[in-house]
Amino acid sequence: MSRPRLPTVAITMGDPAGIGPEIIMKALAHPVVHGMCEPLVIGDAARLRKAGAVVGSPLEVDALKDAADADYANGRVQCLDLGVVPEDLAFGQVSPAAGEAAYRFIEKAAELTTTGQAQAICTAPLSKEALHAAGHKYPGHTELLAHLTGTPEVSMMLVSPKLRVIHVTTHIGLIDAIAKIEPGLVERVIARGHDVLVKAGIANPKIGVCAINPHAGENGLFGYGEEAEKITPAVEKCLAKGWDVRGPLPADTLFFLAGRGDYDMVVAMYHDQGHGPIKVLGLEAGVNITVGLPVIRTSVDHGTAFDIAGKGIADERSLIEALRQAVDLAPARAAS
């Protein structure tokens, strides 16, 4: 009997001056990765080989010109080689060349997923500074992929073994975030998170919604009524749909309750409100999922780590977990 093919996951190399090439070479040495997906690196074969030497990996790298040429059974790293990384690029330094390369990797991965040649994207970290230096003015992967796929609005979800957090706003200043939050946006973010959890097999997820102010405003004692104006109407609309949504709730209490399992997901209002608790639980276990795209995209929940790039000591565990999440969310493939 024929068996369904494993999903092909396009792994973008991220900023080639960061730890992306190293954690990819480390992750692909784990048999568990090859047991759950067909890993196709979108990047630069020479850079991967250099990173392999740095981390002491015995893996050889195949430089491919076409994704269709990948041989996932030969025991070597399959790299769609875009040939855009300068041979003398230093590790640990911001450069426009590295930013341009990171952009091109994402662009190619988006093309592969939208044409069905890959079923998901898993991204190694890029440098926003390098990306901007190359002329690509996007706050990060989330906004870049939204542009490349023509998606008007997406959300960032962070997942760890004990916590799921979806964000109403992300890469903007706190004052701008508070101004941007409004009931329609909050409702759409809750809906995107609810949809992901239902597809993941949680029939009626319990969702907690953070307040903006301490103590959820304490009936007007803190703030200027933001909870009643910006959040409560969205929660009421979700309740009217029959969803189990609670809030706005004080963020400090809500994260404690969610961490012990009382909630399936927390809706954070701004970047650090959601990122802080996840990162306290451990960068090696966190995964970033872009919710709302027409393609599946997961990512490590850490940066380029220029301070340790090229030293061979970067931890690959977040990348392995990101690959696992990508596989869990990826559409099924036809039998081979």
Residue 62: pLDDT band with limits 50, 70, 90: very high
Are 1-153+292-336 and 162-280 equal in CATH topology? yes
CATH number for the domain running over 162-280: 3.40.718.10
Across the chain, what does the average pLDDT equal?
Answer: 93
State whether residue 94 is helix, strand or coil. Answer: coil
**Which residue has 């709730």 as its token pair?**
249
In this predicted structure, what is the pLDDT of residue 142?
83
**Which residue has 């405003």 as its token pair?**
217
Residue 160: pLDDT band with limits 50, 70, 90: confident
Residue 332: pLDDT band with limits 50, 70, 90: low
Averaged over 119-134, what is the pLDDT? 95
By CB atoms closer than 10 A (0-12, 13-18, 19+), residue 33 is buried
In this predicted structure, what is the pLDDT of residue 4?
65
In this predicted structure, what is the pLDDT of residue 161?
81
In this predicted structure, what is the pLDDT of residue 159?
87
Domain boundaries, given as residue ranges, for the chain: 1-153+292-336, 162-280
- For residues 19 and 308, is the Cβ–Cβ distance under 8 A? yes
Residue 334: pLDDT band with limits 50, 70, 90: low
| 161-186 tens-digit pLDDT | 889 999 999 989 999 999 999 999 99
CA distance 277 to 257: 12
| 10-39 tens-digit pLDDT | 999 999 999 999 999 999 999 999 999 999
The secondary structure of 54-80 as a DSSP string is: HHT----EEEESSGGG--TTSSSEEEE
Percent of residues, the chain, with pLDDT higher than 90:
79
In this predicted structure, what is the pLDDT of residue 285?
66
**Which residue has 């009626």 as its token pair?**
204
Type of residue numbered 110: A
pTM for the whole structure: 0.83
In this predicted structure, what is the pLDDT of residue 333?
62
In this predicted structure, what is the pLDDT of residue 283?
60
Residue 335: pLDDT band with limits 50, 70, 90: low
Q: In what order do the strands lie in the sheet with 120-123?
A: 61-64, 77-81, 38-43, 8-12, 120-123, 297-300, 287-291, 155-160, 163-167, 265-268, 206-210, 244-249
| 298 strand-pairing partners | 122, 289
Residue 189: C-alpha distances to residues 24, 160, 163 (Å): 31, 19, 17
Residue 280: pLDDT band with limits 50, 70, 90: confident
Averaged over 252-279, what is the pLDDT? 95
CATH of 1-153+292-336, one of 3.10.50.40, 3.40.718.10, 3.30.360.10, 3.40.50.300: 3.40.718.10
| 65-112 tens-digit pLDDT | 999 999 999 999 999 999 999 999 999 999 999 999 999 999 999 999
In this predicted structure, what is the pLDDT of residue 1?
45
Helix (H) or strand (E) holding 39: strand 38-43
Nearest to 81 by CA among 63, 104, 103, 107: 63
CA distance 73 to 88: 32
